[in-house]
Amino acid sequence: MFWVNVPFCIIGILLAWRHLNIDEPARPVTAAGKPKLDIPGLLLIAPGTSIVLLGLANAGTAAGFAHPDVIVRVAGALRSAFRRLRTAHSHPLVEVRLLARRPVGSASAVLFFSGFSLYGAMLLLPLYYQDVRGTTALTAGVMLVPQGIGTLLSRTVAGSNIDRFGPRVIASAGFVVVAAATVPFALAGPHTSGWLLALWMLLRGFGLGAVTMPVMVAGYIGLDKQQIPHSSVLTRTAQQLGGSFGTAVLAVILQTAVAAHPATLANAFHTAFWWSAGFSAVAVLLSLWLPGPQPAPRSDRASSTGRPADPVKA
Are 155 and 279 contained in the same domain?
Answer: yes
Are 61 and 149 contained in the same domain?
Answer: no
Are 79 and 156 contained in the same domain?
Answer: no
| Among 191, 203, 190, residue whose Cα is nearest residue 280 | 203
Half-sphere exposure of 182 (CA within 13 A, CB side): 29
Are 64 and 131 contained in the same domain?
Answer: no
Residues 176-187 have pLDDT tens digits of 999 999 999 999
Question: What CATH number should be reported for the domain holding residue 111?
Answer: 1.20.1250.20
Are 53 and 180 contained in the same domain?
Answer: no
41 and 93 Cβ atoms separated by less than 8 Å: no
Structural domain boundaries, residue 82: 38-93
Are 253 and 214 contained in the same domain?
Answer: yes
Identify residue 277 by its one-letter amino acid code.
A
| Among 60, 58, 56, residue whose Cα is nearest residue 253 | 60
pLDDT, residue 183, reads: 93
Please indicate, yes or no, if residue 132 is contained in any of the structural domains: yes
Residues 6+ apart with CB under 8 A from 191: none
Are 81 and 176 contained in the same domain?
Answer: no
Phi, psi values for residue 93, rounded to 5°: -60, -40
**20 vs 14, 15, 24, CA distance in Å?**
10, 8, 13
Identify residue 19 by its one-letter amino acid code.
H
Identify residue 182 by its one-letter amino acid code.
T
pLDDT, residue 1, reads: 82
146 and 202 Cβ atoms separated by less than 8 Å: yes
Query: What is the torsion angle, in degrees rounded to the nearest 10, for the CA atoms of residue 117, residue 205, residue 257 and residue 131?
Result: -140
- pTM attached to this predicted model: 0.71
Are 154 and 259 contained in the same domain?
Answer: yes
CA torsion through residues 194, 200, 206, 209, sign: negative
* pLDDT tens track, the chain, 314 positions: 889 999 999 999 999 999 988 766 555 555 455 556 667 766 766 776 666 666 666 665 555 556 666 666 666 666 555 555 555 555 666 788 888 888 898 888 888 888 887 778 888 999 999 988 888 999 999 999 999 899 888 877 777 777 788 888 888 999 999 999 999 999 988 788 889 999 999 999 998 888 888 888 888 888 888 888 888 888 988 888 888 888 888 888 898 888 887 778 888 999 999 999 998 898 888 888 888 776 665 555 554 455 555 544 43
